[in-house]
């Protein structure tokens, strides 16, 4: 037998390919995804900040393919008729903790700390994720979780194993010894909590910690620039890292292509974080005029969680929370809201951030009314949870608006949210990636 390479004339190759492409082989051709038409009388154009309508949004393969003004529905499309409802893009919360919830523990602060572990967090996380999705929040940024549970939760949702919002995760937040990320602060020196820790001190150590978070699957890096409320250090806002340490964290994270969120209540810690180049400051409670000016000049997002003060002061004493922590919240709540108003008036870049997990998941929408009460228009509040939030996440090519090419993440309410933004506390229709999660209106 000849060892020469087999030669097939080019014309014969073409003939073979033509046969393979013929009707007899069509069984392997993947059919086009079905088209769904979502019809509503009104819709919020979050990119332009206008209410428009009526509209028919065409969805195929999990993405929006067209946004057609009017009421015409293409032949053959599956119709989801939302009637007189108002359609919005799926909502975004850029500050949640899907591994904790005050309603899922034992009801006692110290018992929770000493008897519950990361496995308990992992068990409840899917339930909390589903509550969040049902509330209309189709995308979240999870800014801290123990034991990399948030990575596993994100991956399971992405694989379609469990329902939940799209997630960007921070894994284990960085913090200094004795600071807001140090779980042993305030406990006996004999007590040790096992598992990954974000506690790191010094420039080299914080760089290594950033790399470890990236290695374990972090989409974003979170660090504690200041003290906090719900932890046992004495201060509520004092800086807990040096400028050099903050600079190193941000430099290292950006080197790996990750955005950085800084927990900061105190005015000086906020300014240090902004100087370091963080992408967002969380809480922002005691921000001063200089801090507002710096954030505006650098384009830093300011993420105020101005609802949860109500819940903490009403409920946390019942959970056995140390009185010193509740006292710190009393220092923060009103001032934070007043500074939120100043930030709105200054035209700062602001995204919707609730710290859900401090209060029950699924209640995220309660913050909209607070934002309007403290200075935003309803449209500004909605944009903070859609177009602006998508910008902070670097996901404007995926979420945050109703426009072709983006994910078909849609929510609807029966009333007009521009007249009463509190209707977003209980959305009536949720679609994520073209799949209806829940609906109290419409035909489908």
Q: What is the mean pLDDT of residues 292-321?
A: 96
Instruction: Answer whether residue 180 is part of any domain.
Output: yes
Question: Are residues 343 and 428 both part of a single domain?
Answer: no
Question: Are residues 377 and 408 both part of a single domain?
Answer: no
Angle between helix axes 243-255 and 267-276 (nearest 10 degrees) is 40
CATH number at residue 434: 2.30.40.10
Question: Are residues 73 and 171 both part of a single domain?
Answer: no
CATH number at residue 97: 3.20.20.140
| C-alpha distances out from residue 260 to 79, 113, 177, Å | 41, 28, 20
> Pick from 143, 132, 140: which is nearest to 93 by CA?
140
Question: Are residues 175 and 246 both part of a single domain?
Answer: yes
pLDDT tens, residue by residue, 171-188:
999 999 999 988 877 777
- DSSP 8-state code for residue 379: H
Instruction: Answer whether residue 267 is part of any domain.
Output: yes
Alpha helices in 299-405 (DSSP H): 308-315, 323-345, 366-373, 378-384, 387-393
Tell me the β-bridge partners of 81: 39, 443
Q: How confident is the model at residue 53 (pLDDT cuts 50, 70, 90)?
A: confident
Question: Are residues 199 and 269 both part of a single domain?
Answer: yes
Question: Are residues 331 and 427 both part of a single domain?
Answer: no
Instruction: Answer whether residue 22 is part of any domain.
Output: no
Cα distance between residue 86 and residue 387, in whole Å:
17
Strand, helix or coil for residue 119: helix
Q: How confident is the model at residue 18 (pLDDT cuts 50, 70, 90)?
A: very low
Quote the tokens at residue 31.
């059919």
Cα distance between residue 378 and residue 363, in whole Å:
18
Instruction: Answer whether residue 21 is part of any domain.
Output: no
Instruction: Answer whether residue 187 is part of any domain.
Output: yes
Range in 21-25, 117-121, 220-224 with the lowest mean pLDDT: 21-25
pLDDT tens, residue by residue, 324-344:
999 999 999 999 999 999 999
- Give residue 252's pLDDT: 98
Domain that holds residue 76: 35-89+404-439
- Give residue 30's pLDDT: 64
Burial class (CB in 10 A: 0-12, 13-18, 19+), 246: buried
Count of structural domains within the chain: 2
Cα distance between residue 249 and residue 57, in whole Å:
43
Question: Are residues 362 and 427 both part of a single domain?
Answer: no
Question: Are residues 81 and 97 both part of a single domain?
Answer: no
Q: What is the mean pLDDT of residues 30-43?
A: 92
Instruction: Answer whether residue 74 is part of any domain.
Output: yes
* Count of other CB atoms within 10 angstroms of residue 372: 18
Q: With a threshold of 0.85, does the pTM exceed it? A: yes
Question: Are residues 137 and 167 both part of a single domain?
Answer: yes
Question: Are residues 44 and 122 both part of a single domain?
Answer: no
Q: What is the mean pLDDT of residues 47-53?
A: 95
* CA–centroid distance for 352 within its chain: 9
Residue corresponding to tokens 């005029």: 289
Instruction: Answer whether residue 2 is part of any domain.
Output: no
Instruction: Answer whether residue 14 is part of any domain.
Output: no
Question: Are residues 319 and 412 both part of a single domain?
Answer: no
Q: What is the mean pLDDT of residues 274-278?
A: 98
Cα distance between residue 206 and residue 163, in whole Å:
34
Kindly give the pairing relationship between strand 78-81 and strand 86-89: unpaired
> Pick from 292, 256, 257: which is nearest to 274 by CA?
292
Residue corresponding to tokens 């504690």: 224
Question: Are residues 218 and 349 both part of a single domain?
Answer: yes
pLDDT tens, residue by residue, 282-294:
999 999 999 999 9
């Amino acid at each position: 037998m000849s060892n020469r390479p087999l030669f097939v004339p080019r014309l014969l190759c073409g003939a073979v390919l033509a046969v393979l492409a013929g009707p007899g082989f069509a069984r392997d051709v993947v059919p086009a995804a079905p088209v769904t038409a979502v019809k509503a009388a009104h819709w919020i154009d979050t990119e332009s900040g206008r209410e428009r309508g009526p509209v028919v949004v065409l969805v195929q393969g999990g993405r929006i393919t067209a946004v057609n003004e009017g009421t015409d529905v293409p032949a053959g499309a599956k119709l989801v008729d939302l009637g007189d409802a108002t359609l919005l893009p799926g909502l975004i919360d850029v500050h949640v903790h899907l591994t904790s919830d005050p309603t899922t523990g034992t009801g006692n602060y110290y018992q929770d700390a000493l008897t519950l572990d990361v496995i308990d967090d992992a068990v409840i996380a899917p339930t909390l994720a589903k509550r969040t999705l049902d509330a209309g929040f189709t995308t979240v940024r999870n800014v801290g979780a123990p034991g990399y549970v948030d990575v596993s939760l994100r991956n399971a949702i992405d694989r379609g194993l469990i329902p939940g919002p799209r997630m960007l995760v921070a894994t284990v937040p960085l913090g200094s010894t004795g600071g807001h990320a140090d779980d042993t602060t305030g406990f006996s020196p004999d007590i040790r909590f096992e598992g990954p820790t974000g506690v790191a001190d010094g420039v080299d150590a914080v760089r290594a910690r950033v790399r470890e978070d990236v290695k374990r699957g972090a989409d974003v890096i979170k660090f504690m620039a200041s003290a906090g409320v719900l932890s046992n250090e004495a201060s509520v806002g004092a800086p807990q890292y040096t400028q050099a340490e903050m600079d190193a964290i941000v430099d290292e994270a950006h080197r790996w292509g990750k955005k950085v969120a800084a927990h900061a209540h105190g005015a000086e810690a906020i300014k240090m974080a902004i100087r370091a180049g963080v992408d967002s400051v969380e809480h922002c409670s005691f921000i001063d005029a200089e801090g507002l000016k710096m954030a505006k000049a650098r384009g830093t997002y300011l993420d105020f969680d101005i609802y949860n003060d109500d819940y903490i002061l009403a409920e946390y004493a019942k959970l056995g929370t140390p009185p010193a922590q509740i006292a710190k919240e009393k220092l923060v709540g009103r001032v934070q809201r007043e500074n939120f108003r100043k930030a709105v008036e200054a035209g700062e870049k602001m995204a919707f951030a609730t710290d859900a997990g401090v209060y029950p998941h699924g209640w995220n929408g309660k913050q909209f009314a607070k934002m309007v009460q403290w200075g935003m228009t309803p449209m500004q509040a909605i944009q903070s949870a859609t177009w602006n939030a998508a910008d902070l996440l670097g996901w404007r090519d995926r979420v945050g608006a109703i426009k072709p090419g983006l994910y078909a993440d849609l929510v609807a309410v029966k009333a007009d949210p521009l007249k009463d933004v509190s209707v977003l506390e209980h959305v009536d229709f949720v679609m994520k990636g073209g799949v209806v999660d829940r609906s109290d209106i419409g035909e489908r």
